[in-house]
């Protein structure tokens, strides 16, 4: 959370602005009829408020379905209404906010008027700020970043005057659970939670945030120092984000990579993947593998399997939006042996121990959903998601995946 937000109800109750916001929210809930106040039975205990949001979702869901929208079977908060000549309206629901886009302005205008009649809603115009993400839109493309949030957490952890560093992690540094423990681990947990939230627009900090999150239960001073270094790195690039060029190209391309036995505590490897669609990357992940890989080929194979699962979901999502993926999704992998395992359905001594769930990648290839392609280390764009890198290599990958400094002159 940003430092200017209250951490409890009692803090919020001391602020006239937050009291007004809470009252406005209650008034809106009562107006929309998504709940009713009732007496608590004497023998029961009250639980946290989690049902009002659920009731609102049920209300908006039934209304959109009634208006001819189809709910995506692959993403429960995504709705699409198709018209003639491939025209469509797409609605994404986030709590009580709606993101609306479409291919015909007249249908959009009609939809917004209808929603304003049914619900107490305001049209805020083109999206500029959404759950901590800043959006700049222009004819040539869209730029997303989290500069304000970045600066807020720097101030929160008293690092706004720190000296920036070039990379989020020190090259060849190893972090272990056996380091001396922190007396107050809450600072570390809060910091790492903030870093994880920033990964929504910062794939360059994805690996470092994922790595540090492994020590949430019992952090050390070394871990805290590494987390603060990530913040120092982000200070030097707070105005960086991802630039998406406007294009009709819906060619989905993925990259899958891994390290091998990178964790010194349990010798497990890290999987990393990212996907692009025409220009800059839009989906990425870095995660420690569940099993101990016995070779680099096995580690890469497990990583490719995770990327294949994501590719299938993304293809299904594109299909729900009305974009057919006519050819297999190219998935670039840097290990020829891993590709050979995926393409060879025969089990043998070197692969029979691999969990059967990872072999689903073979079916994905057979069904022409993905196509594994070998790439060199220099061409592997997911490299920064699995290990610390030297400055030059790190900066080169940032540029190739679409990360850059905001250039508002282009807009």
Residues 90-107 pLDDT 10s: 999 987 788 999 888 888
Cα distance between residue 291 and residue 127, in whole Å: 42
Cα distance between residue 210 and residue 188, in whole Å: 14
Strands (E) located in 50-191? 70-71, 78-82, 88-94, 97-102, 129-130, 133-137, 141-145
**Residue 50 pLDDT > 60:** no
Cα distance between residue 389 and residue 400, in whole Å: 15
Averaged pLDDT, 9-24: 83
Report residue 301's pLDDT band, with 50, 70 and 90 as the boundaries.
Answer: very high
Taking only the tens place, the pLDDT of each residue in 336-348 is 999 999 988 776 7
DSSP state of 79: E
Taking the model in full, what pTM does it have? 0.86
Q: Write down the pLDDT at residue 58.
A: 84
Instruction: Tell me how far CA of residue 398 lies from CA of 68, 117, 184, 377, 385, in angstroms.
Output: 42, 46, 34, 15, 11
Cα distance between residue 136 and residue 144, in whole Å: 6
**Residue 30 pLDDT > 70:** yes
Report residue 47's pLDDT band, with 50, 70 and 90 as the boundaries.
Answer: confident
Which residues touch 295 (CB under 8 Å, ≥6 apart)?
260, 337, 350
Q: Write down the pLDDT at residue 17.
A: 84
Taking only the tens place, the pLDDT of each residue in 365-407 is 999 999 999 999 999 999 999 999 999 999 999 999 999 887 6
**Residue 3 pLDDT > 50:** no
Report residue 65's pLDDT band, with 50, 70 and 90 as the boundaries.
Answer: very high
How many residues in total does the chain contain? 411
Instruction: Tell me how far CA of residue 232 lies from CA of 99, 154, 157, 159, 237, in angstroms.
Output: 33, 8, 11, 7, 9
Beta bridge partners of 78: 92
Beta bridge partners of 256: 273, 333
Q: Write down the pLDDT at residue 184.
A: 87
Q: Write down the pLDDT at residue 411.
A: 56
Report residue 2's pLDDT band, with 50, 70 and 90 as the boundaries.
Answer: very low
pLDDT above 70 as % of the chain = 95
Taking only the tens place, the pLDDT of each residue in 176-196 is 998 888 888 999 999 999 999
């Amino acid at each position: 959370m940003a430092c200017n937000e209250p951490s409890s109800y009692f803090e919020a109750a001391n602020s006239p602005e937050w009291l007004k916001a809470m009252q406005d929210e209650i008034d809106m809930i009562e107006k929309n009829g998504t709940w009713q106040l009732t007496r608590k039975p004497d023998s029961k205990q009250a639980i946290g408020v989690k049902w009002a949001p659920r009731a609102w979702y049920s209300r908006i869901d039934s209304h959109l379905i009634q208006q001819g929208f189809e709910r995506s079977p692959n993403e429960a908060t995504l709705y699409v209404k198709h018209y003639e000549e491939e025209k469509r309206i797409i609605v994404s629901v986030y709590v009580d906010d709606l993101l609306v886009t479409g291919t015909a302005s007249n249908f959009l205008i009609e939809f917004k008027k209808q929603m304003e009649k049914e619900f107490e809603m305001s049209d805020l115009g083109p999206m500029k700020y959404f759950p901590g993400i800043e959006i700049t839109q222009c004819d040539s493309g869209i730029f997303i970043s989290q500069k304000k949030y970045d600066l807020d957490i720097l101030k929160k952890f008293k690092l706004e005057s720190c000296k920036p560093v070039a990379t989020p992690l020190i090259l060849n540094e190893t972090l272990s659970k056996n380091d001396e423990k922190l007396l107050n681990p809450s600072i570390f947990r809060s910091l790492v939670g903030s870093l994880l939230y920033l990964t929504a627009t910062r794939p360059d900090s994805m690996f470092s945030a994922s790595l540090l999150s492994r020590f949430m239960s019992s952090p050390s001073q070394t871990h805290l120092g590494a987390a603060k270094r990530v913040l120092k790195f982000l200070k030097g690039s707070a105005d960086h984000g991802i630039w998406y060029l406007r294009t009709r190209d819906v060619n989905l391309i993925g990259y899958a990579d891994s390290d091998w036995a990178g964790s010194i505590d349990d010798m497990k490897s890290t999987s990393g993947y990212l996907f692009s669609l025409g220009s800059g990357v839009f989906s990425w992940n870095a995660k420690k593998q569940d099993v101990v890989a016995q070779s680099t080929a096995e580690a890469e194979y497990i990583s490719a399997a995770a990327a294949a699962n994501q590719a299938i979901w993304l293809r299904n999502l594109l299909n729900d939006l009305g974009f057919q993926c006519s050819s297999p999704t190219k998935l670039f992998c840097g290990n020829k042996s891993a590709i050979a395992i995926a393409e060879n359905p025969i089990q043998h001594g070197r692969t029979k121990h691999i969990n059967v769930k990872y072999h689903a990648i073979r079916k994905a290839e057979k069904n022409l959903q993905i196509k594994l392609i070998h790439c060199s280390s220099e061409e592997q764009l997911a490299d920064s998601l699995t290990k610390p890198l030297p400055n030059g290599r790190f900066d080169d990958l940032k540029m190739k995946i679409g990360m850059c400094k905001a250039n508002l002159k282009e807009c």
